[in-house]
Amino acid sequence: MDIAIPAPLTAGTVAPDFSIPGTAGGAVTLSDYRNSKHVLLAFFPAAGTPVCTFEMCAFGEDFGRFSAAEVEVLGISMDSMDKLEQFRDAQGLRVQLLSDIDGAVARQFGALWKSGTIANRAYFLVDKTGVIRWAHVEEHPGLRRENEEILAAINSVTA
């Protein structure tokens, strides 16, 4: 059964603040990045699935390019911390993964999938002032953006 999902946030919107657990230990609060780094929020459906694994590994392969652009990549799913930590360790992931176990953050950003049980694949680039500068929500969770497209978007709005 589909549930009512808020519309995705768009470029020019102030990103809602949140604080949820991350695989680096402790809570990650979006506003802690203000005035220091841009943040790419990369919502993904489920740790360990083929597309999600490929995507999170690809972020790690281009980790230096994201870092050079002063962008912190945060992968967000509705998986438990245990599952995310196992996923990180099994794949040797370099990006931090955040557990939005109840879907509250995905709902705030309009990135919850129709069923309400997983996040849709979605990307929100939040600049150093806390404003969303680029956003893309996939038509369905099986699709993903290539890093080249994401990095081009980053360069177009942060240069």
Choice among 28, 52, 76, 84 that is catalytic: 52
Question: pLDDT (tens digit, 9 = 90+) per residue, 67-123?
Answer: 999 999 999 999 999 999 999 999 999 999 999 999 999 999 999 988 888 999 999
Amino acid at 118: I
Please tell me the distance from the alpha carbon of residue 150 to that of residue 156, in angstroms, as a whole number.
10
What are 28-81's pLDDT values in tens digits?
999 999 999 999 999 999 999 998 989 999 999 999 999 999 999 999 999 999
Whole-angstrom Cα distance, residue 115 to residue 102? 13
Q: Is the pLDDT of residue 2 over 80?
A: no
Q: Is 70 exceeded by the pLDDT of residue 3?
A: no
E-strand stretches of the chain: 19-21, 27-29, 38-43, 71-77, 96-99, 122-126, 132-137
**Is 57 assigned a catalytic role?**
no
Q: Please, what are the domains in the chain?
A: 19-23+32-158 (3.40.30.10)
